[in-house]
């Protein structure tokens, strides 16, 4: 446009030496800060799961934790597991398991972690119960043990318990556990300069076989729930490892626990992930027992890495059945020494919530269903059945024995009340060694089980000893408390029930003054052998595992050195 001056053209900016020097200094500063941050993370831990304590100097250090917690295929077993790695004591308190991040930085979905019911009511009772019991204790150490137990129970019940049955069982017996502790001399053991304070519980087999939502078999979870309750009663912080697919603990988690309780599936999961549970501080719950006679088997054979765990570190459900293992059992809340006689009906309760063995089409002998028919002739039978089970147990019972009253699965308290209000708990031969028979005996309910027509060697189990009945320990409980019968002898079955009815009527119908033992049984659940499955007996055995957790020595493999030395770790031959 005429009269307007043209704007001068802008020259492009070219950085000079001073500008380049500033940029280089800024980049160097940023890189240094990043390096410091990464270095601090690596020094504190593996960058995912919180701080990892350093091992004690006198013990061999564990291998570094791998980057992934799972692996698509198992690795070759190592010759030698690392020795126990105990957390190092420092001037500052060791972080509790509750403060250790259990999962990767992405937490599990709420559906995995949430519990159907809040533990708030049970938790609220803990300080009141502890205060009441503590007031009657004069011993300072006993009051301290009670204080530690209260804190451990609170941590446990406010933690992530996915199986609601476990929470309910623990809560319903909490007062019994605390009462038992007041009569149980206990102090947490020490390992040199530090005290045993924390344990990891990882029921991987129960998770995989029975799930965590609709749990159709409660026997395994009964033992795990009792173990958690006992450990908390001993004042130990319990880390109950959650079920989340193939996720398993890594070496950092193991190092933050003084003792580990898992099972065969836990070992195999750890092997696949390259994170075997350290043998020195690991105990394996093993329902049927491992006697060391089954060597060549990929899952439970006495081959590496399973031989890293000596036979006495396997915890069984039955006392004395596998003498090379350690008996754990379950904890039964028996009646008090003096208790009023409860109301009780002449009726029977059927053992187990699923019954595929009632059908010969499923490959089971006919005597199972025949035995249930015989029971039905002598007393009213009540079955608490999972109506959604895949075996269609309800239909099997109706077609076999239409007189059996079928009810749904009951809560622990409802089932407790049903047993306490019934005369007899009857088994048809399966499931093997389920612990509910001891719940029945502790409530003053007789138990009847069949002897096998022929002794059985269990297939696909790491033990070759013959089984002679549904629950071998019941054979040691004398009549009239428990009966082991011939399932093929109809007259013997009838005679057993006549004996049971006479015993029942002597107390409930006639009130015989001479029936002292029976009255004590019906009112307080007192019978020969009760201590083996009592809360006190169970607590004592769990305390034994805590006290006996130590670095393993060659002597721990003495028996196996005579039978399959080539399968043992190098330190077993020292």
> Would you say residue 232 lies in a domain?
yes
49 found inside a domain: no
- Give yes or no: residues 242 and 176 share one domain: yes
| pLDDT means over runs of 10, the chain (574 residues) | 46 60 65 55 38 34 33 32 30 34 31 39 94 94 96 96 93 95 95 92 93 74 96 98 92 96 97 96 94 93 97 90 89 72 96 88 88 97 87 90 92 90 96 88 96 87 89 92 97 98 96 91 92 92 97 97 96 90
Q: In sequence order, what DSSP letters do the residues of 40-96 get, joined into one string? A: HHHHHBSSSS-B-PPBPTTSPPPPPPPS-S--SSPPPPPSSPPPP-PBPP-SSPPPP
316 with 415, same domain: the answer is no
pLDDT at residue number 413: 84
From 517, 317, 530, 364, select the one nearest 442 (Cα to Cα): 530
349 shares a domain with 263: no
Same structural domain for residues 276 and 372? no
Residue 214 lies inside a defined structural domain of this protein: yes
200 and 158, same structural domain?
A: yes
Residue 199: φ, ψ to 5° = -135, 150
Domain co-membership, 311 together with 374: no
Cβ atoms within 10 Å of 489's Cβ, excluding its own: 13
Domains contained in the chain, number: 2
Pick the last residue of a domain from 295, 327, 359. Answer: 327
Where does a domain end: 268, 300, 327?
327
**Which residues 6+ apart lie within 8 Å of 238 measured at CB?**
152, 155, 156, 159, 198, 199, 201, 228, 231, 232
The answer to whether residue 228 is domain-embedded is yes
pLDDT score recorded for residue 17: 66
For residue 284, the 8-state DSSP code is E
Give residue 350's Cα distance to chain centre.
25
Q: Tell whether 332 is covered by a domain.
A: no
DSSP 100: S
Q: 322 and 349: one domain?
A: no
Distance (Å, whole) CA 224 – CA 261: 9
Task: Retrieve residue 220's tokens.
Answer: 């395994």
Quick check: is 56 in a domain? no
Domain extent at residue 209 = 112-327
526 with 380, same domain? yes
Helix (H, G, I), strand (E, B) or coil at 174: helix
Query: Quick count: other Cβ atoms within 10 Å of Cβ 159?
Result: 20
Do 281 and 351 sit in the same domain of this protein?
Answer: no
Predicted pLDDT of residue 55: 37
Same domain, 522 and 421: yes
pLDDT of residue 115: 37
- Taking the C-alpha atoms of residue 339 and residue 525, their distance in angstroms, rounded to an integer, is 10
pLDDT of residue 105: 29
Domain at 409, CATH number: 3.40.50
**What pLDDT score does 15 carry?**
61
353 found inside a domain: yes
- Cβ atoms within 10 Å, residue 394: 18
Nearest one of 238, 135, 131, 140 to 185, comparing CA atoms = 140
Same domain, 258 and 156: yes
User: Angle at CA 224, nearest 5°, toward 466 and 557?
Assistant: 55
Q: Are residues 301 and 373 in the same domain?
A: no
pLDDT given for residue 20 in this prediction: 62
Asked whether residue 245 is domain-assigned, the answer is yes
């Amino acid at each position: 446009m005429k009269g307007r001056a043209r704007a001068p053209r802008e020259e492009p900016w070219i950085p000079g030496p001073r500008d380049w020097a500033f940029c280089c200094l800024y980049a160097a500063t940023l890189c240094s800060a990043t390096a410091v941050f990464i270095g601090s993370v690596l020094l504190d831990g593996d960058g995912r799961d919180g701080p990892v304590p350093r091992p004690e100097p006198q013990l061999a250090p564990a291998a570094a934790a791998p980057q992934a917690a799972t692996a698509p295929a198992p690795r070759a077993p190592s010759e030698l597991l690392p020795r126990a790695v105990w957390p190092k004591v420092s001037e500052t308190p060791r972080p509790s398991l509750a403060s250790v991040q259990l999962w990767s930085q992405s937490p599990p979905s709420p559906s995995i972690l949430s519990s159907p019911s809040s533990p708030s009511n049970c938790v609220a009772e803990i300080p009141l119960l502890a205060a009441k019991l503590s007031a009657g204790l004069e011993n300072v150490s006993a009051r301290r043990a009670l204080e530690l137990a209260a804190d451990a129970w609170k941590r446990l019940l406010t933690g992530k318990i996915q199986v609601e049955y476990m929470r309910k069982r623990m809560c319903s017996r909490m007062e019994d556990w605390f009462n038992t502790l007041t009569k149980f001399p206990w102090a947490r053991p020490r390992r040199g300069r530090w005290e045993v304070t924390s344990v990891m519980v990882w029921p991987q087999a129960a998770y995989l076989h029975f799930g965590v939502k609709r749990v159709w078999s409660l026997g395994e979870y009964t033992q795990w729930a009792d173990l958690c309750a006992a450990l908390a009663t001993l004042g130990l912080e319990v880390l109950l490892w959650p079920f989340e697919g193939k996720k398993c603990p890594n070496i950092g988690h193991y190092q933050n626990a003084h003792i580990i309780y898992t099972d065969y599936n836990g070992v195999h999961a750890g092997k696949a992930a390259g994170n075997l549970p350290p043998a020195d501080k690991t105990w394996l719950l093993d329902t049927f027992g491992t006697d060391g006679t089954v060597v060549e088997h990929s899952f439970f054979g006495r081959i590496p890495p399973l031989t890293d765990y000596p036979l006495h570190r396997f915890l069984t459900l039955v006392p004395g059945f596998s003498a090379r293992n350690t008996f754990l059992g379950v904890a039964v809340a028996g009646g008090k020494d003096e208790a009023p006689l409860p109301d009780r009906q002449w009726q029977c309760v059927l053992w187990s919530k699923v019954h595929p063995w009632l059908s010969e089409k499923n490959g089971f002998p006919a005597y199972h269903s025949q035995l249930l028919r015989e029971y039905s002739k002598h007393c009213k039978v009540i079955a608490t059945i999972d109506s959604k089970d895949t075996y269609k147990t309800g239909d099997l019972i109706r077609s076999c024995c239409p007189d059996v009253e079928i009810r749904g699965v009951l809560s622990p308290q409802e089932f407790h009340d049903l047993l306490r209000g019934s005369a007899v708990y009857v088994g048809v031969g399966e499931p093997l060694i389920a612990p509910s028979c001891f719940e029945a005996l502790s409530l003053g309910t007789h138990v009847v089980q069949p002897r096998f027509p022929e002794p059985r060697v269990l297939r696909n189990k790491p033990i070759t000893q013959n089984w002679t009945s549904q629950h071998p320990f019941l054979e040691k409980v004398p009549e009239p408390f428990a009966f082991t019968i011939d399932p093929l002898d109809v007259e013997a079955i009838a005679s057993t029930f006549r004996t049971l009815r006479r015993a029942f009527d002597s107390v409930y119908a006639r009130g015989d003054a001479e029936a002292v033992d029976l009255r004590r049984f019906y009112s307080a659940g007192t019978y020969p052998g009760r201590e083996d499955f009592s809360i006190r007996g169970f607590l004592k055995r769990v305390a034994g595992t805590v006290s006996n957790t130590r670095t393993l020595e060659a002597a721990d493999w003495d028996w196996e050195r005579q039978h399959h030395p080539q399968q043992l770790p190098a330190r077993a031959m020292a």
